[in-house]
Structure formats: C-alpha cells, structure tokens
Amino acid sequence: MFYSFIWFGVSLVALVFAQRWLHYNLQRLLLLIFRDTKVSFFIYAVLLLPGVVLHELSHWLAAKVLGVGTRSFTLIPTLRENGSIRFGSVETDRADPVRSALIGVAPLATGAMVLSMLVFENLGLASLLRGIEQYDLEALALLWNRLQANPELAIWIYLAIVVSNTMLPSAADRSAWVPVGLILGFLAVVTMLFGLGPEAAALISSPLDLFLRGFAGLFTLTVALDILLIVPLWIVQQFVRWIVRLLT
C-alpha cells in the first residue's frame, strides 16, 4: 500500500499543477483571440459548463441525501475582483464536520464515476490497457481504428477533459476536512493504544489500496489528457500572437 500512497500523492500534485496550467493558458488564449475580458470570460465559462453543472449538482444532491438544507443554488459564473472565477455555488445550512466534508468531497466522487464511464466505456481504455499488458499490437491497432471511426470521439474526449478538470474540491469544499482528519487521527491513535492496530490495518488495507489506486489512475489519466493539450495550446497561442503583431 506504500506505493499506492506514493502514486496517489504524486498524481494528485501533478493534477493540481496541470489544471492550473491548463486553466491559465486557456484564459490567456481566449483573451488573445477576443481582446475582451467579458467575452473571454463568457466563452471560458461555457466551455467548462458541463463539468461545473456536475460539480454543483453533486454538492446539492449530497446535501439532500445527508439531510442538510440548501439555501441557494446557482450555475451563473462570476468574475471576482482578484481576477479569479467563481463558476457556481451551492449554499447549505450549517452541518457537522462529517457531513460538511462529505458534501465537499461529493464532486470528486461523482466526477470519478463519470470519468471512469467515459474513458473505460466510451473511449475503450479498458481494451487499450489489456492490449498494452498483453503486448497485443493487433488488438491495439483495431482499437485505434475503431476510435478514429467513432464520430463521437471528440465529444467524449472533450467531456473527459472538462469533467476531470472541474471535479477537484475547491478551498471552500475542503474547509471541513481538517476537523474530520483530526477525528480520524484520534480514532487511529485510540485503536493503536488498545492494541487493535494490526487487526484494523488488515481490515482496511485492501479497500484502501483499491481506493488509492483507482483515484491515482484517474488522476494520472487526467494529467495525460491535459498534457495532450499543452502543445496545441502553445502552438495556437504563438500563432495568435504572430497574427496580432501583424495587425497592430
């Protein structure tokens, strides 16, 4: 399980940096093209709208399931004074730290499920992984041809990128994680003091390892999708800058 922790941590850090790079450079590109902050902001928000809808609906549904009241729900993006963007929000009633943490982590859980469905079912990643593991070049070639012939391929890739880049909890979503972490730490210490450490570790090691590997795999996939956009975005940015210089 040690390697699963390492993979999970490294992939999560890489995902945070990849997302920041992607969002920053996409906004820069839109500003270069449209030369208007409001227009660029609107198009940027529309591009990410499917992921934002899933993110905010996850908060809302989690609150309803957990019996926490909701006071407001909006998908209208706003541009803050510091230049950051608030895509949407769900305001809930005050709840205990555990339920608040579960509501905050809901977009990550639903995003992971939707992303798994997109990449394993619609994009055929499961067949791709089996072909790589078995060194079956013929199967990989057939999968590649099938993907290219799929008229909806661009849509599935777009949705996978958007969902994966909007599923991470925001700072407000993570506000209840500290007290929950302290509670879990306290329970772990009590368990070890009573001599139940080995039994508890044996009980949770397998599901925890599966959880870490599953999310690490999805985080790694998201980073790979973001990396695929790095070169095209950079090339388009350079081309737009060249055009702007010619016209000014």
Cα separations (Å) of 106 from 61, 103, 110, 139?
Answer: 9, 5, 6, 37
Amino acid identity, position 194: F
Which are the contacts of 4, defined by CB distance < 8 A and separation ≥ 6?
208, 209, 212, 213, 216
Cα separations (Å) of 118 from 96, 115, 169, 208, 222?
Answer: 34, 5, 20, 24, 12
pLDDT of residue 131: 46
| Series of mean pLDDT values for 10-residue runs along the chain (248 residues) | 79 85 84 83 86 90 88 78 73 83 86 80 56 51 61 77 82 66 60 58 67 78 79 84 80
How many secondary structure helices (H) and strands (E) does the chain include?
A: 9, 4
Residue 123 pairs in a beta bridge with: none
Cα dihedral 172, 1, 112, 91, rounded to 10, equals -20
pLDDT of residue 132: 45
* Stated length of the chain: 248
Integer Cα distance of 213 and 209 in angstroms: 6
DSSP 88: -
Cα dihedral 146, 151, 155, 157, rounded to 10, equals 20
Both tokens of residue 38?
A: 């409001």
pLDDT of residue 133: 47
